[in-house]
Structure 1
Amino acid sequence: MIFTGTSGNLSTALYLASIIELSIGRPITRVQITALAWGVNILSGIVNTFGTRAVGALSAFNLWWTLGGTVVLVVTLLVKSPEKNTGTFVFTDYENFTGWSSKTFVVLLGFLQAVYTLEGCETAAQVAEETSRAEMLAPLAIISSIIGSWLIGVVYMLALLFSIRSISSIQATGFAIPIAQLFFDVFNDRTDDSDNGVIGAGSTKQGKSLTFMCIVIIALAQFMAAVTAFAASSRLLYSLARDNAVPTAHDGFYKKWFMALNRYQAPYVGVWISVIVGCAVSCAYIGSPIAFNAILSSAAISVMLSYLQPVIIRVFWPNSFRERGPFTLGKWSWPINVASFLFTVFVCVLFVLPTSHPVSSTTMNYAIVAVGALLLLVVLGWFAWGKDTFKGAVRTLEDEEAEEAEGDVVKETYDGLEKVPEKEKD
């Protein structure tokens, strides 16, 4: 989740860089983009320091911002586009810039961007412990976020495809993020890449203003979404410490440190660890975007593998979950999990395949190397200390203790559970 948030914050930085480039008329350096990413990471940490209420308010605002922003983007693109593309172009045109000759493989590579939008959909589960009626609201939030993203994404994508002026211009863009070139071309009626790399060439005052507006709408939505990823990662670090699943968790001091809450009830240590790691990972973008992309790709695969673990249990050991909660798929549970298992395995394989041909040191997909290194660290960590310290999720109150606790006040402490007898009434 830290890498997911880092990826979102770098995307925000790229949008901010495009705004700057539109203003100054030239590209900015990778060092400057990384500095912007650091600033966005730190701002995400500040917001998360104010706790769940602040993140919840921001998420609620982002819902309406995204819905309203999508309407503004779609209407603006369709109204201001000098000429609309045909339905044949939108639904049947095939463009291949990968170098691979297989149309099927190229189409399958298109799944990667679509699957990326699923990352972070489980954030509601990460903060479930801080939510009332989480047994119903958390799964509903996950499902509604996926359905909502799909609906909004389809409408937005259709607007882009009907309005796009020149694919070659987008390929040759000088903007930090290519979508900025699409907006610029639409609002300034540019249909070629004759001004390759010259940002702002042939623009009008209205065209630049509309381009600026569209980039700002997306940048703010991207930032607010990335904030929730850091919220999830901080809660995950808190849970790992509580359950003795981190190397220092057996030490009472470090366990309390990881689990410390500020006055806003936010696990601030996890928040700022997320920020520091995010800033460190962003530095890879300075030296090699290839290395940075490998890190993010490995993060995407790792997230998908984490989603896969409970699905595997449900598919191969369906009777292991005998007790069902108030939210259940009923008889459709097993077939849906089988479909989920097959799709996730298929996508994870796609994530490690090279996306360009011929394959060279600069076009190789190094995600498999990063994932392999991560799995190796996990295995070594398990045998070095995990098998002795991690015994599963910590229960704050056992059922039998609850039955014996009638008339008692049960208090959770860092070292376990202790009973505090009620004061006898006078």
Structure 2
Amino acid sequence: MDDKPKDKESTGYIADPSASDTSVTNQLEQMGYKSEMKRNLGMISVLGLSFAIMAVPFGTSTTLNIALTDGGPVTILYGWIFVSLVSLGMAASLAEICSVYPTSGGVYYWSAMLSTPKYSAFASYLTGWLGTVGNWTVTASITFGGSQLILAAATLFNEEYVPTPWQTCLVYWGALICSLLINLFFNRHLDKLNTVCLYWTAASIIIVLLSMAEERNSAAYAFGGFDASASGWPEAWAWFVGLLQAAYTLTGYGMVAALCEEVKEPAREVPRAMVLSVAAAAITGLVYLLPINFVLRDIPDLLAVASLQPMPLLYKLVTRSSGAALGLLILILGVWFFATIGSLTAASRCTWAFSRDGGIPGSQWWKVVNPRYGVPLNSLILSTVVCGLLGLIYLGSSAAFNAFTGVATICLGCSYAFPVFCSLARRRKMVRDAPFSLGKFGYFINILTVIWIIFSIVLFCMPTAIPVTPPTMNYASVVFAGFSTIAGLWYVISARKYYKGPTVSAVRRESYSE
């Protein structure tokens, strides 16, 4: 038990970032949980996982059609810079809270601790569902985008080939199963895979840059070219809609909190990894995207590809060789390989953590850690099955990928905003002694985070282009509403009767006058 004196405005628990393994285990018990996962990850491994989930060359490539539709070079470049700066603030806000409560519960645990006792359970439940759905849909979008790229590779050699929805779904389901098997049988090697991801991404970008054509667009076009006519939106609004390319890519940093209980010094290493991964991703994106602007070809032709993935065609036009384009595409698919594994890892841990407190129907199944493999096997399977079912949307709409990216960005953004908002509402008193502190800039950074996320909820429910038809509708709002309805009904029917939020032993928040 922590006998440190607490005043009425104290959080009741401040993690010791330099604690030993025994102390970290004791601190976790003080937060209400027993240690079930092996702590074999360090900061570089977590950084690699976060970087793998964001997968900058892959993420920006698979969403290139969004930015091309909504502005082209200006949206690609300045949209990336803008969202990178905002994402740094968001990551720092979460890192500060994570350094106080380094548990795999992540956002839903933080919301419970930072809200008032009266609303703690509901805040935790709401945030937990948003975070879990966000993790699932990020995994779905990453895996689906790569599946589209794989089939798009065939069009490099046969321009007449048009992938069918069923073919895309089969590749998607196959990729999910492979990711599940790697997470299960190679769990002990995931830290090495995450580290390799850092080097693979760097090498991929260097090779792509060296392979760019000598024929380049002017600097005026690369830095100032803007054409939103394909979107149908007014120019200013089109630029904002096109921010989904950057916002989707730079959204996975908070997911690594779900691995806190597998990290040796989580209060120190996980917050650092969150912020550093966004900074590294921001630089990586600039290095990758600016040359893309210089070699862009006719945008209508790029947007006309049947696979909805223009990057393979761009590679082919730039290198004037189908073989060279395939080689570059394989490098990007290598990044995708790491991203699918990492995103499913994070999704399964998030599902497992939320289930420990009874947040998901059938929690008694999902909260079990398999002793043989050392992973929450049932949660891993559940996450895979949910993502597999989401793939069925593509059979009815070619805009399924945009739905995945939009709802992932919205759900994760909301789950990130809620604990930050709760902290602001209590005048940041709960994080005033955080090991990773924002200091005097905390209010400004937290307010910016909340405002941006509220705006992005509306923004990323918008269709990429108008007028809207059933096949081109942005179904993010439908998927978001569907999961919200399930969560709401479950809360009304059952969860409100027993869900009390995270089980807390020594970590107690002092009541204060309302």
Q: Using structure 1 for the length normalisation, give the TM-score.
A: 0.82
Aligned to 2:457: 348
Q: Deviations over 1:308-334 (max 9, x none)?
A: 111111222224515633211112111
Distance in 1, matches of 2:507 and 2:281, equals 39
Aligned counterpart in structure 2 of residue 85 of structure 1, from 202, 214, 217: 217
SS of equivalent to 2:162: coil
Tell me which amino acid in the other structure corresponds to 1:398. Answer: A
In the alignment, structure 1 segments of 5+ residues that lack a partner are: 189-206, 401-426
Aligned to 1:333: 442
**How far 1:294 sits from its partner (Å)?**
3.0
In the alignment, structure 2 segments of 5+ residues that lack a partner are: 1-134, 509-514
**How far 1:174 sits from its partner (Å)?**
4.2
Distance in 2, matches of 1:226 and 1:99, equals 30
Tell me which amino acid in the other structure corresponds to 2:167. Answer: Q
SS of equivalent to 2:462: coil
- Which 10-residue stretch deviates more, 336-345 or 258-267? 258-267
Distance in 2, matches of 1:92 and 1:24, equals 34
Map 1:214-363 → 2, pairs under 5 A: 214-249=328-363, 254-255=364-365, 258-291=367-400, 293-322=402-431, 324-363=433-472
Aligned to 2:480: 371
Counterpart check, 1:208 vs 2:322:
yes
Aligned to 1:37: 172
Q: Is the alpha carbon distance of 1:368 and 1:278 closer, same or farther for their aligned partners in structure 2, counting shifts above 3 Å? A: closer
Q: Is the alpha carbon distance of 1:100 and 1:73 closer, same or farther for their aligned partners in structure 2, counting shifts above 3 Å? A: same
Structure 1 stretches of 4+ with a deviation exceeding 4 A read none
Assess if the C-alpha contact under 8 Å between 1:4 and 1:226 holds in 2.
no
Aligned residues: 373
**How far 1:24 sits from its partner (Å)?**
4.6
Assess if the C-alpha contact under 8 Å between 1:314 and 1:334 holds in 2.
no
Q: Using structure 2 for the length normalisation, give the TM-score.
A: 0.68
CA RMSD of superposed structures (Å): 2.1
Assess if the C-alpha contact under 8 Å between 1:125 and 1:138 holds in 2.
yes
**How far 1:215 sits from its partner (Å)?**
0.5
Distance in 2, matches of 1:28 and 1:286, equals 12
Larger Rg: 1
Distance in 2, matches of 1:184 and 1:175, equals 15
Q: Deviations over 1:204-249 (max 9, x none)?
A: xxx1221011101111102211211111111112112211222333
Map 1:36-55 → 2, pairs under 5 A: 36-50=171-185, 52-55=187-190
SS of equivalent to 1:45: helix
Aligned to 2:196: 61
**How far 1:394 sits from its partner (Å)?**
2.5
Q: Deviations over 1:345-365 (max 9, x none)?
A: 111110112332223444433
SS of equivalent to 1:334: helix
Counterpart check, 1:168 vs 2:300:
yes
SS of equivalent to 2:156: helix
Aligned to 1:3: 137
Q: Is the alpha carbon distance of 1:51 and 1:132 closer, same or farther for their aligned partners in structure 2, counting shifts above 3 Å? A: farther
Distance in 1, matches of 2:281 and 2:396, equals 33
Q: Is the alpha carbon distance of 1:373 and 1:168 closer, same or farther for their aligned partners in structure 2, counting shifts above 3 Å? A: closer
Q: Is the alpha carbon distance of 1:303 and 1:30 closer, same or farther for their aligned partners in structure 2, counting shifts above 3 Å? A: same
Aligned to 1:145: 277
Q: Is the alpha carbon distance of 1:67 and 1:287 closer, same or farther for their aligned partners in structure 2, counting shifts above 3 Å? A: same
Q: Is the alpha carbon distance of 1:354 and 1:19 closer, same or farther for their aligned partners in structure 2, counting shifts above 3 Å? A: closer
RCO comparison, higher one (Cα < 8 Å, 6+): 2
**How far 1:292 sits from its partner (Å)?**
5.6
Assess if the C-alpha contact under 8 Å between 1:281 and 1:292 holds in 2.
no
- Which 10-residue stretch deviates more, 173-182 or 363-372? 363-372
Assess if the C-alpha contact under 8 Å between 1:55 and 1:231 holds in 2.
no
